[in-house]
Amino acid sequence: MEKLDFGCKLIEVRKAKGLTQEEVAEKCKITVRTIQRIESGIVTPRAYTIKIISDALGFDFFEAFNTGYDVNKMNQNPIVEKHNVLWYLTDLFNLKTNAMRKISILTISSILVGLSMFVFISKTNAQSDNKNVFKSIVVQYNTDNTIKRIEVRFSNHLTFDSLTYIKNDLKLKGITISYKKIGFDKKGRLSEIDCAVESSFSDESGSFGGIGFSKDDKMGFFYDFSKNAKIPFCAGGCNL
């Protein structure tokens, strides 16, 4: 089959059916560029491509040209045109064919990438917050696993989730802390705190607070349950 002959016939059939090149490309699931190259005679389509075009347009191009292709054999061993990754990427961003489908694919891909980045950043921030929480509570134990001394430090590194974790963890250790007032900066870090603390293991209790935390500022409290403790309780600066 001559390149130009097939291209001319394709144009004739396409126009007779009132179809544009884009519509033919969409029906055949191939690119507009391929249809254009076929119609201009630049390329001769493979037998498999001719079969796809014939089925899509309802016109037997094999019979019209008596091509000699063994259609039955071709159906058993279809020859699929191979394209590299760059071709598929280029075709994906070519919105002249299947525009809505490609826009949907690109939109979904962008959403998935955005969600992946959000999850990654959230995990990173969570890990960072956990490290700060672990640094905020320091516990010394006796040989019988009872608490000997506990120190709790509050700093600008802490977030609302950190404060919630500290409160719940202290409750399990027999210490109740009440946040009377807390404030955060634009980054969601602790900038102001006013709270009270008491222990079920001691009669000592107190309150402390402060505003304008810098990165190195710390305040909090400690309980020292040792029998020979010089200072059993302190709230505020306490050289933490």
| Predicted local confidence at residue 94, as pLDDT | 61
Is the model more confident about 156 or about 150?
150
Taking only the tens place, the pLDDT of each residue in 1-60 is 445 578 888 888 889 889 999 999 998 988 999 999 888 888 888 888 888 898 888 888
Taking only the tens place, the pLDDT of each residue in 197-228 is 999 888 889 888 877 666 667 788 999 998 88
Tokens 């607070």 found at:
209
Taking only the tens place, the pLDDT of each residue in 139-151 is 989 888 889 999 9
- Interatomic CA distance for residues 173 and 166, integer angstroms: 11
Residue ranges, comma separated, of all CATH 1.10.260.40 domains in the chain are: 3-91
Is the pTM here over 0.85, yes or no?
no
Instruction: Evaluate if residue 113 carries a pLDDT over 60.
Output: yes
Residue 159: name the closest of 183, 124, 135, 134 by CA.
183
CA-CA distances (angstroms) from residue 61 to 2, 70, 88, 163?
Answer: 12, 13, 28, 75
Classify domain 3-91 at the CATH class level: mainly alpha
| Predicted local confidence at residue 22, as pLDDT | 92
Mode of pairing for the β-strands spanning 205-211 and 190-199: antiparallel
Taking only the tens place, the pLDDT of each residue in 53-90 is 988 888 887 776 654 444 343 343 444 444 555 655 56
- Interatomic CA distance for residues 145 and 149, integer angstroms: 11
Overall average pLDDT of the 117-139 stretch:
61
C-beta of residue 64 within 8 angstroms of C-beta of residue 12: no
